[in-house]
Amino acid sequence: MKRLLPVLVIGISLLLVGIITSCLPHSLYSEKDAIEVTAEGLFAAYEEDEVAADTLYKDNLLKVTGVICDVGTDYIFEAPEVVISGGGEDEARGIDCIFDTRYESQVAKLGAGQTVAVMGICDGYQVNVLLLHCQPCEE
């Protein structure tokens, strides 16, 4: 029994470290793997030619930089959401960034008018360009 006690203590310690670190926000992606584009450039590419823009961006990891026009919760995905202005006549149209829920507290600190960089997977274009599984970038 005395031999099993150190093994049991080490096992429980490793389990606790794993549980604690899994609860902390950590990066989903590496910036070196992302295609960098401005919100205005990405939105303009989709407005100009959706098929060509899909070829370049859809299903790829993007790092998008731009000015926030809205922060809230996406009701479909039930997740934190930031809309980055596409720079057109309607400032509310642009890049719809749906964040992984682990970033909820970070997203809550963001506000309209703030410049932000976000990484996420491009899911194409509807009314806005949609980025899924987003994470904020350290700037």
**Residue ranges of domains in the chain, CATH in brackets:** 27-136 (2.40.50.140)
- pLDDT over threshold 80, residue 66: yes
- pLDDT over threshold 60, residue 20: no
Tell me the average pLDDT across 66-76.
94
What pLDDT shows up at residue 22?
43
**pLDDT band with cut points at 50, 70 and 90 for residue 31:** confident
- pLDDT over threshold 50, residue 83: yes
pLDDT digits (tens, 9 = 90+) for 107-136: 999 999 999 999 999 999 988 999 999 999
Beta strand 115-125 with 79-85: parallel, antiparallel or unpaired?
Answer: unpaired
**pLDDT band with cut points at 50, 70 and 90 for residue 44:** very high
39's tokens: 């919100």
What pLDDT shows up at residue 78?
93
Between 88 and 44, name the one with better pLDDT.
44
Residue ranges in 1-138 assigned as alpha helix (H): 4-23, 39-48, 50-57, 104-108
**pLDDT band with cut points at 50, 70 and 90 for residue 3:** low
Cα–Cα distance for residue pair 126/61, rounded to 1 Å: 18
